Amino acid sequence: MKITSQIVISIHFAIVSPVYTSTEGSKQTLNLSYGEQLTYIGHTTYEGISQPTRMLMNLQLQTSRGQYFVASPIGISVPGVVHSSANVYSGFLVGIVGRANRDGVHRLGICVLQEIREVHIDMEYLSLPEGGISDVAVNNYTHDNREGKRDGSIVVDDTESITNSATTQKTWAESLGVGVTVSGKVFGMGAEGSTEYTVGNETMESTSYSRTRETHVGMTVGVPAGKKYWVEVLYYKGTFRVSFRPKYSFELKNGVKVNWPWDEEQPISGVAWGNLFLKVHDMTNTPDEKVPPPLPSPRKTFLVTRAMKRSRNEQTVLALYGTLEPFIQL
């Protein structure tokens, strides 16, 4: 009895091959979604009409997302049946090669990538987020020296714990069990009252991240005799929501680097870095219920200490001394 087998290959961008060998009979279809891996490749062959050629009798494929595919004729007995399986390596299908004649498929190769050693993800943002201040924290310092005969001062001692974070669905490449580096962006707020975001590049270990900084500002503001000064310390921060497309690069165990096709876009949201502002108001001749414009910002000497805590308990401390404007970009 003659057994005919057929195969049709459809690859990325909807390129579909012709039908190889017979076009008769029922068809089995396996559609691999983006990032889906083969976890098992098995096949059965039988003795062909002209030895030593062996013909493909059936094909079994299993995937990382639970699909199980079997293409096989049913209820047929043939001589010299042999079952075998193949090494799936990384499981990422890149092509199929083979040979067929009018009797069926007698050469078939499923091409997969070598094992993956490391993945690099480039987060390509489709736009910058729309601005918007979501939260303002205020600390106040006041010194009334209107009855004083000597100059006084206000000592500002302020600490803010600031978190910059982003949350998104984990990409499939982060679940491969290999090392991952991510080139992404961190967002911050612009100048005081601005609705624009600043953007910086950073290398991370995940598409979702959290960075916490503890910023301490210590300074002294002189209050002349006969004056009443009020010092405001304001911290602005914002939230963001944008979309990005992950772009993957694989480093294989044999040292070869492979660029994988772009993934679909996905949303990402989080909290942007903020800005710390210091304002000095002369309240000497102003009723308490009114707030005068701040005084021009003189250059003052103060200390800024930053401690950054990363997700793996790393910590760096930076101390800056000197004459700085009383505006700090966090």
pLDDT on residue 32: 83
pLDDT on residue 245: 92
- The alpha carbon of 91 is separated from its chain's Cα centroid by a whole number of angstroms, namely 23
Domain 1-113 belongs to what topology?
Vitelline Membrane Outer Layer Protein I, subunit A (2.100.10)
Q: What is the spatial distance between Cα 54 and Cα 51, in angstroms, rounded to a whole number?
A: 7
> Averaged over 192-208, what is the pLDDT?
77
pLDDT on residue 251: 94
pLDDT on residue 326: 35
Closest-CA residue to 154 (of 292, 281, 275): 281
The domain ranges of the chain are: 1-113, 118-290
Quick check: 217 pLDDT over 90?
no
Closest-CA residue to 280 (of 268, 265, 291, 264): 291
Reported pTM = 0.66
**What band does 294 get if pLDDT is binned at 50, 70 and 90?**
low
**What band does 180 get if pLDDT is binned at 50, 70 and 90?**
very high
| Helix/strand/coil for 12 | helix
Per-range mean pLDDT, top range of 16-30, 122-136, 141-155, 283-297 = 141-155
Return the CATH class of domain 118-290. Answer: mainly beta
Q: Which residues contact 122 (CB under 8 A, 6 or more apart)?
A: 182, 183, 246, 247, 248, 249
Report the run of H or E that residue 31 belongs to, with start and end: none
Mean pLDDT of the chain: 75
**What band does 289 get if pLDDT is binned at 50, 70 and 90?**
low
Can you spell out the DSSP letters for 41-94? EEEEEEE-SSTT-EEEEEEEEEETTS-EEEE--SS---SS-EEEEE--TT--EE
**What band does 181 get if pLDDT is binned at 50, 70 and 90?**
very high
CB 261 within 8 Å of CB 94: no
Q: Do domains 1-113 and 118-290 have the same CATH topology?
A: no
